[in-house]
Structure 1
Amino acid sequence: MTPRKYTADDEPRVAALWRSSFPDYQGYNAPEAVLRAKRLLDDYIYVIEDGGEIIATCMIGYDGHRGWLYSLAVADTRQGEGLGRRMVEFAVERLRELGCVKVNLQIRGGNEGVAEFYRSLGFATEDRISMGLQLSG
């Protein structure tokens, strides 16, 4: 199974996977809205599909120097099959092709299992403080 570009037809299946994978999403972060907004900016959304089911997703961003990895999700029933690794490797290669020199990502505090997964792929914790400003409710 190879990652492929997301299409608008994937929206309901990707949204369902994200709701399952990220149950604490805030209302302003509704999957459908995120997907539509991201497609307006660029089309760096990727999925792995098996038998009509979206089983893995990720998005990337690129600012001309650094890349970002967002919303990596693998269906609960398919975890442990190497799909997350495959998706990250695919995303990193897309960023490399764009000329990216560094890939960043954020993990919610306390999510040590996910942090260890990314460490196994060569990512390292950096001395940074992540800050945010809530613009709407």
Structure 2
Amino acid sequence: MKIRLFKEQDREPVISLWRACGLTRPWNDPDSDISRKLAVQPELFFVGEIESKVVASAMAGYDGHRGSVFYLAVSSEYQNRGFGRLLMQTVEDALKSLGCPKLNIVVRSSNEAVLDFYRHLGYTPDDVVSVGKRLIPDG
């Protein structure tokens, strides 16, 4: 798998990937999420491709204090081949190069497979509760 920065022609394949991986929610418009990411730190939006086909993605950010990653996805036909690990290593390296001391990842508590994936990469649960408030409604 080749990892590179997101290009505009990746928009529909990435959205399709996110939908296939069950990452989209009715209250988050994926097209708007991509546009927002392209306006802020587009250099932290990665895709993985095989034979010119988008098969993976990761959208990262760094606020000067902590890093984050969202929309980490690997197409089901390419899972369990180390591509998610490779993509996360790319994200970690990019964040380290910016001086990021810690990466926080939000995972739905019911998603045991993804929690196991991150545990295998050395991530541990933090003793925190994630809270949120919608500032701009999508849709």
Task: State the TM-score, normalizing by the size of structure 1.
Answer: 0.93
Aligned to 2:127: 127
Indicate if the aligned counterparts of 1:65 and 1:99 stay in contact, CA closer than 8 A: no
State whether residues 2 and 50 of structure 2, in contact with CA within 8 Å, keep that contact through their aligned partners in structure 1: no
Cα-to-partner distance string for 1:57-102 (whole Å, 9 max, x where unaligned):
0011001121001110000111111110100011001000010000
State the match for 1:2 in structure 2.
Answer: 2
User: What are the ranges of 5 or more consecutive residues in structure 2 without an aligned counterpart?
Assistant: none
**In the TM superposition, what is the alpha-carbon distance from 1:35 to its structure 2 partner?**
0.5
Superposed CA deviations along residues 21-65 of structure 1, whole A, max 9, x for unmatched, are 125512x41221111111011211100111221101001100112
Aligned position for 1:41: 40
Task: Name the counterpart of 2:57.
Answer: 57
Q: Distance in 2 between matches of 1:9 and 1:64?
A: 30
**Residues of 2 paired with 1:23 and 1:61: CA distance?**
18
Question: What secondary structure does 2:134 align onto?
Answer: coil
What residue ranges of structure 1 are gaps of 5+ in the alignment? none
Equivalent residues in 2 for 1:1-137, closer than 5 Å:
1-22=1-22, 25-26=25-26, 28-43=27-42, 44-135=44-135, 136=137
Larger RCO (alpha carbons 8 Å, 6+ apart): 2
CA RMSD of aligned residues (A): 1.3
Q: Which runs of 4+ in 1 moved over 3 A?
A: none
Alpha-carbon distance, 1:121 to partner: 0.5
Q: Which amino acid aligns with 1:56?
A: A
Distance 2:33 2:17 in 1: 13
- Please give the TM-score of this superposition, normalised by the length of structure 2: 0.92
